[in-house]
Amino acid sequence: VCDEKTSVDKFGGGLFQNNAGISVTVINIHTSSITMHQVFSTSDYGAHRDLVWSLSQIIPGRLVILASMHDGSLQLKKTTHDFLASYGLSWNKAYAFRDTWIVSFIVGGQILGEALAPNLGLFNSSGSPLTLGARASASFHNASTFG
């Protein structure tokens, strides 16, 4: 879902790599279409607020996939962790410096899968690459009930 590619941004007179963030993908399970894909650059001031606001706007019944990029936990505040916990996520409180974290869930429904690979305390490394498999049963409704 998310790789270690970095974006290079101009900062002052030099260049720096901006590779801290959380990738959010939202899928309409009735049409199999991606309704949102955005990377919230958690190295940017206020990105945690944008992440919480965007997640709060997602329609119930949508599939959400959150995947950390290199140091996605950067500048995440307690309010962000508390908001993620309101979805029933278990690892978000433990998610720390350069861990690898991925979760998939249905808004207003069930957690499909969640995994965390911790950084083992090494400053110049990240958590291990992570693969998450999830299986869910879907019930389909008559299209006329969706307006």
pLDDT value for 10: 38
Query: Bigger pLDDT: 137 or 46?
Result: 46
Please, is 72 exposed, middle or buried when counting C-beta atoms within 10 Å of its C-beta (0-12, 13-18, 19+)?
Answer: buried
The pLDDT tens digits of the residues spanning 6-41 come to 333 433 444 445 567 888 999 999 999 999 999 888
Q: How far apart are CA 74 and CA 144, in angstroms?
A: 44
Query: What is residue 89's predicted lDDT score, i.e. its pLDDT?
Result: 78
Q: Which residue has the tokens 């307690």?
A: 78
> Is-contact 7 17, C-beta < 8 A?
yes
Q: 99: alpha, beta or left, given left = phi > 0 and alpha = psi -120 to 50? A: beta
Largest CA distance in the chain: 58
Q: Residue 78: enclosing H or E segment and its boundaries?
A: helix 78-85
* Residue 87 phi, psi (nearest 5): -85, -10
Answer whether 0.85 is exceeded by the pTM. Answer: no
- β pairing state of 14-18 and 33-40: unpaired
Average pLDDT, rounded, for the chain: 73
pLDDT recorded at residue 125:
62
In this prediction, residue 25 carries a pLDDT of 94
**Which residues are CB-contacts of 143 (< 8 A; sequence separation ≥ 6)?**
30
pLDDT of residue 135: 64
